[in-house]
Structure 1
Amino acid sequence: MTTTAREIASQPKIWRCALADHSAQATDLLSLPGSRVLVLGCGTSAFVAESFAVLREAAGLGQTDAAYASEPWPWRDYDAVIVLSRSGTTTEVIAALDALPDGVRTIAVTGVADSPIAQRADDVLLLDFADEESVVQTRFPTTILLLARNAFGEDVGGLPGQAEIALAQPSGIDVSRYTHFVYLGSGWTYGLAQEAALKIREAAQAWAESYPALDYRHGPLAVADDRSLVWIIGPVEASLIRDIEHTGATVITGTQDPLVELALTQQLAVAIAEYRGLNPDTPRHLTRSIVLS
């Protein structure tokens, strides 16, 4: 078993640890009732930031925006900025922190205690127990979202058990049938769809896309055919399923909690990589962190 596969399978254990030992601190640092919050990240962390922002606003905790740390973003007089970085060394995230106005509270969610990002932040939610050896992130981002949902008032106590059962089952997906993978989501699950597609690209070097669910009919549907697998994470309209199936594509509609579904999509990415003769532990052109000179 590859390191990536082991780390995917370890998520139930990691989630239990997070809820048992880090719930109180996560609630204190992530909920911030009434505050205007900006969440920043790059790559996977940017997608997690998008899901986080939707979840926090939906919980009624205050205005929450998400942005790529690597892109220019407008300043809107935020009370706090949360930065997400597994390694704590990403150059663009460090630059974004350094560019913030004086006096703005900064909170880092990271896996490395003595990293440059942790050292710059006012407060740190340290998830070193969820850090990974793999280049491709799996359990670190899902643990952030698990703790965020718990902090925002959701009952997520049953998710480790659900994930344990789901990950132990065979997927039933014949990866040899497909050359095109599409993930769709809505609301906070759109961030998960983007992350799921990224995993296919990173681990398996395969053609993978992601879209807001109902927008898929507005153009991207044109390339779907019998070699396409379309996985919808979260609620879905029956008419969309019919329209996709009309192209000949195979449609999967999630029956698990969306976070568990994300873990299953990570598992599928490894299976595709192995079918293609690739090692997901050594993704092409990628490193654990983007550190620029």
Structure 2
Amino acid sequence: MCGIVGAIAGRDVVPVLVEGLKRLEYRGYDSAGIAVLDHGDVRRVRRTGRVAEMEAAAQAEGFHAQLGIGHTRWATHGGVTEANAHPHVSFGELAVVHNGIIENHDAQRERLKGLGYTFESQTDTEVIAHLVHYHQQKGLDLLAAVQAAARELHGAYAIAVVSKREPERLVCARMGCPLLVGLGDGENFVASDVSAIVQATRRVIFLEEGDTADVTRAGVRVFDASGVQVARDEHLSDVSLASLELGPYRHFMQKEIHEQPRAISDTFEQVIANNGFVPQLFGANAEAMLRDIEGVQILACGTSYYAGLTARYWIEAIAGLPCSVEIASEYRYRAAVANPKHLVVTISQSGETLDTMEALKYAKSLGHDRTLSICNVPESAIPRASALVYYTRAGAEIGVASTKAFTTQLVALFTLTCTLAKLRGRLNDEQEAGYLDDLRQLPGSVQHALNLEPQVQVWSERFAPKQHALFLGRGVHYPIALEGALKLKEISYIHAEAYPAGELKHGPLALVDEAMPVVVIAPNDALLEKVKSNIQEVRARGGEMFVFADLDSQFGESEQVRVIRTPRHVGVLSPIVHAIPVQLLAYHAALARGTDVDKPRNLAKSVTVE
């Protein structure tokens, strides 16, 4: 949610800011703006809607500067209006952009009003602008003023500030929300995501909790929460411009769906390279940490939560360990009973999901020191806070609705399952060889499922006019039904619910009629006959069914029952293959309805607020 970019250089930075904001559009936003220092004055342009509208306004007003900051906003405090859009200014002297939520903004607002400050917006961010200005008025330079203001803020934030009093300086601070500094030659940058500045530099410093950074053309100084100057490691980002381009596809979601065979192969490549499931895949000290665990606790949100639900079936069946899966935002607010011998697994595509990060902190406060992160973004906050890490290698995922991140998370969780099973003596050489062969075959099976796209597209035309849908699955495929329903509602705005197929007769069957399409995940596994019985329950009520069945399942088609056959049953990895057609169904239903596939309303890619 929200995006920050800033730059200081010997050249015009306005194109850098605008291009950076365009590359942050995938995160989800409803307004955009930039503020620059131009001939000693703070100039600002903001617009609701797309970055392109703000860009046109900046060009019309002749924006040109060597120092500036930009922002894409996803509304939290206050509606979607130009007055609430960032950057926010104080007395026309300084400008601030901010990601996150300031929890004590009401108290600070009243205090600042008493000091003579007036507010033009409903946002918590304007408090930051006035607070920094207040400390400047007391004689502090910009760096010290930002540090003083940060000490008075409660909540999560990433901020960047420029001031007309110090036109050769950009100051930023981070607490709970991602922020990095990009290093150039005689120019430097700040951003909430490396994709915003990759066109200018790939050399980055990731700020840590409580850090502030003083950024000039000459260099960067970083200070920790106590104000002591510290050295932070420089990293070379592996995000490429090519991965951020659409190429021959209509949408990033379509591109990312079709990138899954490669992403899956890349994610298990290190398993093959190590000739099997070895603890070292998760970290140097993983064997000692994993060998005697007594259970697994998975914490995640959204699609990552459904990946965790799938893994629970694997972990309990293959590794023989009890596994619980919780929504991170719920776990952190209940009185959990901790077992220090449980492995806490957090799953996050971005590695910055605030609810998941806070859940991890809570787990650690309860005494959990065996922590593992499954993540797609190296050096992000959650992996850095975890003892062990397994990076999925999905590459940049731009579409808000997660696709390849989900399937690569499943690969990572399956790898964890097999590693735990092997450590516990529940995976012999023959079984391990079989699972390795299953992984090698998986990209081909996924490609087979992708080849079904024309058939799925035909189905989507029947979904487009619908307002509601049911998804059914059983066992390890029930989470895939959940994921399918989520995808459909996210991007097509069709209300969809998922149920274990056996629960149909306990309530949801009352909804079934000829206007309610029912999607059934029906692999050729031990529960197939049970699923067929559930299908008959729907058929008897006049419901129209769309069945994703394996090639070797015996399903007869009729006017009421439509069947698409995925590859022959691929065993334990079947949920990954069956995720593909439900992704394609959501994508093509959204196309048929004319919605914004990559940027669905009200949603954001990286959720960095509660």
TM-score if structure 1 supplies the norm length? Answer: 0.91
Report the Cα distance in structure 2 between the residues aligned to 1:167 and 1:222, rounded to whole angstroms: 34
Aligned-pair CA distance for 1:144: 1.6
> Does residue 1:124 correspond to 2:419, yes or no?
no
**Higher helix fraction: Structure 1 or Structure 2?**
1
How is 1:10-25 mapped onto 2 (pairs within 5 angstroms)?
10-22=259-271
**Could you say which residue in structure 2 is the equivalent of 1:141?**
406
> Does residue 1:174 correspond to 2:459, yes or no?
yes
> Does residue 1:158 correspond to 2:441, yes or no?
yes
RMSD of the TM alignment (CA)? 2.3
**1:183-227, CA deviations, whole angstroms, 9 ceiling, x for partnerless residues?**
112222211111111000111111211001110121111112223
The one-letter amino acid paired with 2:579 is: L
**Could you say which residue in structure 2 is the equivalent of 1:240?**
534
**Could you say which residue in structure 2 is the equivalent of 1:267?**
584
**Could you say which residue in structure 2 is the equivalent of 1:92?**
355
**Could you say which residue in structure 1 is the equivalent of 2:75?**
none
Aligned-pair CA distance for 1:115: 1.3
Report the Cα distance in structure 2 between the residues aligned to 1:109 and 1:131, rounded to whole angstroms: 15
Contact 1:131/1:139 (8 A) holds in 2: no
Aligned-pair CA distance for 1:22: 4.5
- 4+ residue runs over 3 A deviation: 22-27, 29-34, 128-131
Aligned-pair CA distance for 1:249: 2.0
**Could you say which residue in structure 2 is the equivalent of 1:223?**
511
Three-state SS of the structure 2 residue aligned to 1:285 is: coil
Question: Aligned pair in 2 of structure 1 residues 258, 124: CA closer, same or farther (>3 Å)?
Answer: closer
How is 1:18-57 mapped onto 2 (pairs within 5 angstroms)?
18-22=267-271, 28=279, 29=282, 32=290, 35=293, 36-57=295-316
Please point out which of 311, 332, 344 is paired with 1:81: 344
The one-letter amino acid paired with 2:347 is: L
Question: Aligned pair in 2 of structure 1 residues 56, 130: CA closer, same or farther (>3 Å)?
Answer: farther
**1:38-88, CA deviations, whole angstroms, 9 ceiling, x for partnerless residues?**
011011111111111121001133111111110035334142101000011
TM-score if structure 2 supplies the norm length? Answer: 0.46
Report the Cα distance in structure 1 between the residues aligned to 2:277 and 2:263, rounded to whole angstroms: 15
- Structure 2 stretches lacking a partner, 5+ long: 1-249, 419-431, 551-565, 567-573
Alignment length (residue pairs): 293
Which structure has the bigger radius of gyration? Answer: 2
Contact 1:33/1:61 (8 A) holds in 2: no
Report the Cα distance in structure 2 between the residues aligned to 1:219 and 1:93, rounded to whole angstroms: 32
**Could you say which residue in structure 1 is the equivalent of 2:544?**
250
Question: Aligned pair in 2 of structure 1 residues 241, 129: CA closer, same or farther (>3 Å)?
Answer: closer
Report the Cα distance in structure 2 between the residues aligned to 1:34 and 1:195, rounded to whole angstroms: 32
**Could you say which residue in structure 2 is the equivalent of 1:108?**
373
Report the Cα distance in structure 2 between the residues aligned to 1:243 and 1:184, rounded to whole angstroms: 12
Report the Cα distance in structure 1 between the residues aligned to 2:312 and 2:407, rounded to whole angstroms: 15
Report the Cα distance in structure 2 between the residues aligned to 1:274 and 1:81, rounded to whole angstroms: 39
Three-state SS of the structure 1 residue aligned to 2:541 is: coil
**Could you say which residue in structure 2 is the equivalent of 1:194?**
482
Contact 1:33/1:62 (8 A) holds in 2: no
The one-letter amino acid paired with 1:176 is: E
Q: Which has the higher contact order (CA 8 A, sep 6+)?
A: 1
**1:126-177, CA deviations, whole angstroms, 9 ceiling, x for partnerless residues?**
1243441111100111112123335535433322111112212322543232
Contact 1:203/1:279 (8 A) holds in 2: yes
The one-letter amino acid paired with 1:272 is: A
Report the Cα distance in structure 1 between the residues aligned to 2:393 and 2:265, rounded to whole angstroms: 14
